[in-house]
Amino acid sequence: MESVKDGVLIHITESYNDPHRVLISLKMAVMMSNDKDVLVYMDIHAVELLIKGAKDLNHYKPILNNCQIKMLGFMLVQLA
């Protein structure tokens, strides 16, 4: 029998108007995905970040860079 693993839901509603809040949430998702199932739910303004042609949030590199965002998919973190 497989043991149950704790999980966490991270809800992101902000976008370009508050990139710090977005990136801190994504950083937390990456860190927590090492030992928990993580679901990142993005709605309201955050949808702007997911569409084709969305602008990059490069100016906040100390927090989280694009490479780390791409790691979310490789680490089997679910994006909703």
Q: Mind listing the pLDDT tens digit for each residue in 29-71?
A: 888 888 888 889 999 999 998 888 888 776 665 556 566 666 6
Q: Which of 6, 11, 23 is nearest to 60 (CA)?
A: 23
Q: Is the entire prediction scored with pTM above 0.85?
A: no
The C-alpha atoms of residue 58 and residue 3 are separated, in whole angstroms, by 39
Q: Which of 22, 2, 4, 20 is nearest to 12 (CA)?
A: 22
pLDDT-derived band at 76, boundaries 50, 70, 90: low
